[in-house]
Amino acid sequence: MKKNYLLTPGPTPVPAQVLEALAKPMIHHRTPGFQAILKEAVEGLKYVFQTKSDVYIFSSSGTGAMEAAVVNLLSPGDTAITVEGGKFGERWTEICHAYGIKAEVIKVEWGKAVKSEEILAKVKAAKAKAVFTTLCETSTGVTTDIKAIAQSLKNTDAVLAVDAISGLGVLDLKTDDWGVDVVVSGSQKGLMLPPGLGFISVSEKAWKLINASKSPRYYFDLRVAKAAWEKTDTPYTTSVSLVVALNEALKMMKAEGLENIINYSLKLADGIRAAAKALGLKLYADELCASDAITAICAPAGIDGEKLVKTMRDTYGVTIAGGQAELKGKVFRIATMGYINEFDIILGLSCLEKVLSQMGYKFELGAGVKAAQEVFLR
């Protein structure tokens, strides 16, 4: 009997406590009982977002929260800076174009991170009202230096919006301390939930743009969400069971401690990186900006990365992620976010070694697992 193991960058495994919360009887969303749960969940989100600002919840994927950021901050004809260093950076540009917003694109070589000075120069030249960038570019395994970018924009009028969908609760993101204006995320990655919830935090600086925006908006109108939240409510029917489960997941994270979670993700990622090197495999991302949320590894010469991923999943029940767009078949990716521990990583690496060997790649069997174990024993 085949067991299934999930090591993908979303959806991620869901803990038993969260599954139990999902199975609780349905309650009505316009009741004091649900309002108490909602209030507690938002306070938990503030803890993970590291912000004192309110965090708004949408019944959508993280992309819905990205769209909310664009449509609320800007008006048709406005100029924004978008950073494209992978598939998900490109999404900011696509959303801007959908709403008639001029996107001044900074193209970044895949596997590398944007420089803060490049963003600042572009903001000044284009007189941009907003910058849209990505904390963790999931397609390449790169983490962006958000702190440096926020610092560089501190004395400008531009608002900084960050896609932290795959990075929140995994990588450090001090929203308030660093001066990040808008952070968006989703439920199915570091927060250990099924897909279906999007989140967005908004600074006072950002609210000035929101109140001036002329873009058409209805479901994602943050002004409406803010008015509803003043009554501890949501403007429309929310995903009740997911919010109940969110509250449970956030309690688990708070009990563990955000700093401990971030450090553990680093340890897991270090283990994978050590394993890859021990197997003679090349890491795709520049090590100066390699993400601790997901590691992209180049498929060795003569090995089809797509076939590798498919075999691990369909034959052995271990699901990792393949490459996207121009990296399809060229890399495979292993996540270290959410409800994943070192023994999950050891199992995944063991399966990886087995399939690589079956596909004809020559290496010392067990070398990767041994290297990871040595990291985990430190």
| pLDDT (tens digit per residue) in 316-353 | 999 999 999 999 999 999 999 999 999 999 999 999 99
* pLDDT tops 90 at residue 148: yes
Q: Which tokens sit at 70?
A: 């664009």
What was the pLDDT predicted at 258? 98
The answer, yes or no, to whether the previous bond of 76 is cis (omega within 30 of 0) is no
Q: Is the pLDDT of residue 2 over 90?
A: no
Q: Are 42 and 36 in contact (CB under 8 A)?
A: no
pLDDT of 1 above 90: no
- Determine the angle formed by the axes of helices 240-256 and 32-49, rounding to 10 degrees: 40
Contact by Cβ (8 Å): 63, 92: no
What percentage of the chain reaches a pLDDT higher than 90?
99
Distance in angstroms between the alpha carbons of the first and the last residue of the chain: 35
What is the separation of C-alpha 165 from the centre of its chain, rounded to a whole number of angstroms?
3
For residue 184, which of 94, 70, 340, 262 has the smallest C-alpha distance?
70
Q: Are 282 and 298 in contact (CB under 8 A)?
A: yes
Instruction: Name the band, by pLDDT with cuts 50, 70 and 90, for residue 130.
Output: very high
